[in-house]
A and B are shown apart, each in its own frame.
Chain A
């Protein structure tokens, strides 16, 4: 069974950084693209970006490219999202997801809640 478990969320002050992790199991992690999506409270889904199997290609939504960094450790079956210069607009639930051979996110984690507030 595919399982994705996010961690590292919490309350963070404006301007600070935070790193989320996504532990993957139940599939061959290093064979798949992986991605991040976020959802602000009561709002829709926002695609953050995706990383390929060997980290040679990473695509971001342009508005977040200078703030967020996606990385992965295939030896640890873990995906990461490094977030910097956080503002209140970054308050959201952050989901990691695996990307299928059809280029869509076919398995999602339960989400990590990030609240940016002083």
Chain B
């Protein structure tokens, strides 16, 4: 199975700040990488697919980048509604696997 190592596990940032979350795959996943946002008590929601494609309706302050085994999610100008947990997922090979998640809080 492909292991996804996500960092940091938690993050505290101020409104308006830029935040970056990293995800490393145990092997090349050829951009088969998605990012999900999960707000407390809610279902996960797709943010990014194919490493850098923004899902419909997702604000443009979210962006994804990376290649090979290293990927990142960037949130520009942090808003209060961005407080959530974020998960990466590889879908290059079965079984699909998620990172452990990053909990983002406001400072």
Using CB atoms and an 8 Å cutoff, list the residues of chain A in contact with chain B: 37, 44-47, 49-50, 59-62, 95, 100, 102-106, 108-111
B87 at the interface (CB under 8 A from A): yes
The answer to whether B46 touches A106, judged by C-beta atoms less than 8 angstroms apart, is yes
The answer to whether A46 touches B98, judged by C-beta atoms less than 8 angstroms apart, is yes
Q: How far is the CB of B78 from chain A (nearest CB, A)?
A: 22
- Across the interface, name the chain B residue whose C-beta is closest to A45: B98
> Can you list 15 pairs linking A and B with CB atoms under 8 Å apart?
A37-B44, A44-B87, A44-B100, A45-B98, A46-B98, A49-B95, A61-B1, A102-B53, A103-B49, A104-B34, A104-B89, A105-B36, A106-B55, A108-B43, A108-B45
Using CB atoms and an 8 Å cutoff, list the residues of chain B in contact with chain A: 1, 32, 34, 36, 38, 43-46, 49-50, 53, 55, 87, 89, 91, 94-101
Interface of A: prevailing SS: strand
Q: How far is the CB of B86 from chain A (nearest CB, A)?
A: 11
User: A49 to chain B: which residues have CB within 8 Å?
Assistant: 95
User: A60 to chain B: which residues have CB within 8 Å?
Assistant: 95
The answer to whether B49 touches A100, judged by C-beta atoms less than 8 angstroms apart, is yes
The answer to whether A95 touches B43, judged by C-beta atoms less than 8 angstroms apart, is yes
The answer to whether B1 touches A62, judged by C-beta atoms less than 8 angstroms apart, is yes
The answer to whether A45 touches B36, judged by C-beta atoms less than 8 angstroms apart, is yes
Report Cα–Cα, A109/B45, bound state, in Å. Answer: 10
- Across the interface, name the chain A residue whose C-beta is closest to B4: A44
